[in-house]
């Protein structure tokens, strides 16, 4: 059973607001098409948006909701998103075609500090000719405000922007995704960039189906969910992410910026009043918020997900001491072991959270998060970094990326950067990255939100260098190239992402490669061109795209007089297909180009 608590979705870096997309869509792979509704509540009777979990046929589910006055708007796999009038949800859940109500993510921002991208070794690879050419990289985020004005400047001249937020354009809302895309492009300027936005879990599921259709190679995901699962890589968010990982794409996920806004420890009640004690005689854990900040509080404990029997509650008190908000949902062996809420701060000062053991059946480990929007970086009074990962950074199939910061001249994990272990004991994140500045120089973008697209960018370069390698082989290569920084305070290894040296990657650009040219006339559209290569011997054919900027070669053919047949080099094909790999000075080639 899915908890009634709304999932909290955060951006692990710059400050996003609500965002989204606009392309017309359909209800997943079902044959029953439903027109997407607007993002705002439709006119007519008061309705609320819900995400329902399906236990039966989708067409039947749509019929049920429509008969109840509902407006289905999106679906993917076992999820159906719709606007429902009052009373319709209760009536719908009586039909066995539905198994429950899904959770809806709420966006809140996070922000932190930065470092330099040169530590990644990108400069050496760019000098060798690597740009990420031929690699498809998707930035999946809440929105891409302002991306169109940056095309041809800090973004490629052309990108594929696709929105799965119902009724909301990809260029609306937050610029968080735009900033992440700028990072990827600054490292891998030759990669084919996809900007994909979503808002709800149903929309995320649709987006992942789209990534599979497009055969995306690398995914950058700088968003995190707050206690959406038990912390072991499972839960509703991670189930959706598993489908994306299963396509063979490399996923790079921000670890989160919550190391100083998280507390973990056992439930302690020495005087029997049911109020948890963080230290002897202290029952509150506090942090600073400014008036107008969005406060997000979440408590999770180690009980059965979907069947928690122990029952905890949480309460939030303002600086004046008044009770601001409480979460007291009964678990009763049929809910998730999580309590949480969001509320606006009405005064500036220290807000305190209190944990109540309403019905505690056994000893429990507790995880408490107090985050805010905008994220001012303030720590909770009693903080512990261990186990502060967001979801889906705990997923075993993604590479979780933390942020690096210099401390006393030594590179270590940034104090704010979330870390494991996961609840099932796995070490996370796998890699750390510097975050650096943006090429535009006009925006601040840092934290693990910026770290993830940095590593996604270098993965695109490595993928170009080894086009026939599997995603797992590239992952292992990245880990092997990383630079060990020692161990953190919980004994887990800290490894900084790095491309390392260029040895073993096959032919690189020869000396005087800048003098290389193709002589001849390119076709107006896609098609064949007869071109003569002029330049140093040994120029790799796979870097031939550098000789005709903006045009995408698909294959090269040269006539062999001795055999009276054409030799070939086909971009991205296995080695066994190729009959040559380098260009020879003064020799003519037939080159096939894609449509511009």
Is the residue at 319 inside a domain?
yes
Q: How confident is the model at residue 338 (pLDDT cuts 50, 70, 90)?
A: very high
pLDDT at residue 56 in the model: 87
Q: What is the pLDDT of residue 137?
A: 98
The CATH number for 305's domain is 2.60.120.380
Report d(CA 574, CA 434) in Å as an integer.
34
- Does the residue 475 lie in any domain? no
Average confidence score pLDDT of the chain: 86
- What one-character DSSP code corresponds to residue 144? -
Longest dimension (CA), the chain: 94
Residue 182, H or E segment = helix 176-187
Q: What is the mean pLDDT of residues 380-399?
A: 95
Please, which pLDDT band fits residue 196 given cuts at 50, 70 and 90?
very high
Residue 203 has pLDDT above 80, yes or no: yes
**Residue 504 clears pLDDT 70, i.e. is over it:** yes
579: alpha, beta or left? (left if phi > 0; alpha if psi -120 to 50)? alpha
The SS3 of residue 337 is coil
The residue with greater pLDDT, 511 or 38, is: 511
Q: Which two tokens stand for residue 348?
A: 């500036």
Among 189-198, 224-233, 572-581, the range scoring the smallest mean pLDDT is 572-581
Share of the chain above pLDDT 70, in %: 87
Distance CA 194, CA 175 (A): 15
Q: How many helices (H) and strands (E) does the chain have?
A: 8, 32
Q: Is residue 188 in some structural domain?
A: no
Q: Domain boundary at 316, 346, 373, which?
A: 373
The residue among 573 and 554 whose pLDDT is bigger is 554
Pairing state between β 71-76 and 79-84:
antiparallel
In a domain, 237, yes or no: no
Within-domain flag for 559: yes
pLDDT band at 438 (very low <50, low <70, confident <90, very high): low
Joined tokens for residue 403: 């942020």
Q: Which domain holds residue 369?
A: 262-373
For the beta carbon of residue 138, count every other beta carbon within 10 angstroms.
29
| Residue at which a domain ends, from 323, 350, 373 | 373
As beta bridge partners, residue 534 has: 517
Question: What is residue 489's predicted lDDT score, i.e. its pLDDT?
Answer: 62
What's the N-to-C CA distance of the chain in angstroms? 50
Give dist(CA 73, CA 25) in Å, integer: 9
- Which pLDDT does position 78 carry in this prediction? 87
Cα–Cα dist 416/246, whole Å: 31
pLDDT at 475 over 90: yes
The token pair that represents 261 in the structure block: 């806004």
Residue 360 lies in a domain: yes
Q: For position 485, what pLDDT does the model report? A: 87
Q: Is residue 117 part of a domain?
A: no
- The total of structural domains in the chain comes to 3
Asked if the structure places residue 532 within a domain, the reply is yes
* Residue 120 pLDDT grade (very low, low, confident, very high; cuts 50, 70, 90): confident
DSSP one-letter code for 81: E
How is residue 66 written in tokens? 């429509």
Final residue belonging to a domain, choices 330, 346, 373: 373
Q: Which pLDDT tens digit goes with each residue over 305-327?
A: 999 999 999 999 999 999 999 99
Cis preceding linkage at 374, omega within 30: yes
């Amino acid at each position: 059973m899915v908890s009634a608590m709304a999932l909290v979705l955060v951006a692990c870096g710059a400050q996003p607001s609500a965002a989204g997309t606009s392309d017309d869509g359909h209800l997943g792979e079902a044959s029953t098409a439903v027109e997407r509704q607007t993002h705002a509540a439709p006119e007519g009777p008061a309705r609320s948006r819900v995400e329902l979990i399906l236990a039966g046929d989708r067409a039947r589910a749509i019929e049920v909701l429509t008969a109840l006055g509902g407006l289905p708007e999106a679906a993917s796999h076992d999820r159906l998103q719709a606007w429902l009038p009052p009373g319709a949800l209760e009536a719908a859940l009586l039909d066995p075609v539905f198994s429950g109500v899904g959770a809806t993510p709420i966006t809140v921002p996070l922000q932190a500090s930065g470092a330099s991208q040169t530590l990644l070794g990108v400069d050496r690879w760019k000098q060798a000719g690597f740009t990420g050419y031929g690699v498809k990289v998707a930035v999946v985020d809440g929105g891409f405000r302002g991306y169109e004005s940056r095309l041809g400047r800090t973004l490629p001249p052309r990108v594929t922007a696709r929105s799965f937020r119902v009724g909301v354009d990809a260029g609306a809302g937050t610029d968080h995704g735009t900033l992440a895309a700028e990072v990827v492009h600054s490292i891998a300027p030759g990669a084919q960039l996809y900007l994909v936005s979503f808002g709800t879990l149903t929309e995320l599921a649709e987006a992942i189906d789209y990534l599979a259709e497009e055969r995306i190679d690398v995914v950058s995901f700088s968003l995190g969910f707050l206690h959406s699962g038990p912390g072991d890589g499972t839960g509703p968010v991670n189930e959706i992410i598993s489908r994306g990982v299963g396509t063979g794409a490399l996923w790079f996920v921000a670890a989160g910026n919550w190391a100083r806004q998280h507390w973990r420890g056992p439930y302690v009640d020495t005087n029997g009043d049911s109020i948890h004690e963080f230290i002897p005689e202290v029952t509150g854990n506090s942090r600073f918020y400014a008036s107008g900040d969005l406060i997000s509080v979440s408590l999770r404990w180690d009980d059965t997900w979907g069947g928690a029997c122990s029952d905890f509650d949480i309460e939030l008190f303002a600086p004046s001491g008044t009770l601001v908000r409480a979460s007291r949902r009964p678990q009763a062996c049929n809910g998730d072991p999580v309590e949480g809420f969001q509320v606006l701060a009405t005064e500036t000062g220290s807000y305190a959270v209190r944990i109540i053991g309403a019905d505690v059946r056994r000893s429990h480990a507790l995880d408490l998060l107090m985050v805010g929007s905008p994220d001012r970086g303030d720590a909770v009074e009693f903080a512990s970094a261990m186990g502060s990962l967001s979801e889906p950074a705990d997923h075993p199939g993604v590479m979780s990326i933390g942020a690096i910061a210099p401390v006393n001249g030594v590179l270590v994990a940034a104090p704010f950067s979330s870390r494991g272990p996961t609840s099932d004991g796995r070490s996370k994140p796998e890699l750390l990255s510097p975050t650096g500045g943006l090429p535009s120089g006009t925006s601040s973008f840092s934290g693990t939100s910026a770290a993830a697209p940095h590593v996604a960018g270098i993965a695109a370069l490595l993928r170009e260098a080894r086009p026939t390698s599997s995603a797992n082989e590239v992952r292992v290569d990245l880990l092997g190239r990383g630079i060990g920084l020692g161990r953190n305070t919980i004994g887990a290894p800290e490894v900084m992402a790095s491309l390392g040296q260029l040895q073993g990657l096959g032919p690189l650009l020869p000396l005087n490669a800048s003098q290389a040219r193709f002589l001849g006339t390119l076709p107006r559209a896609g098609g064949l061109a007869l071109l003569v290569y002029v330049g140093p011997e040994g120029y790799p054919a796979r870097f031939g795209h550098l000789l005709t900027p903006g045009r995408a070669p698909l294959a090269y053919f040269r006539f062999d007089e001795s055999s009276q047949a054409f030799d070939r080099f086909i971009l991205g094909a296995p080695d066994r297909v190729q009959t040559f790999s380098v260009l020879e000075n003064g020799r003519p080639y037939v080159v096939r180009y894609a449509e511009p």
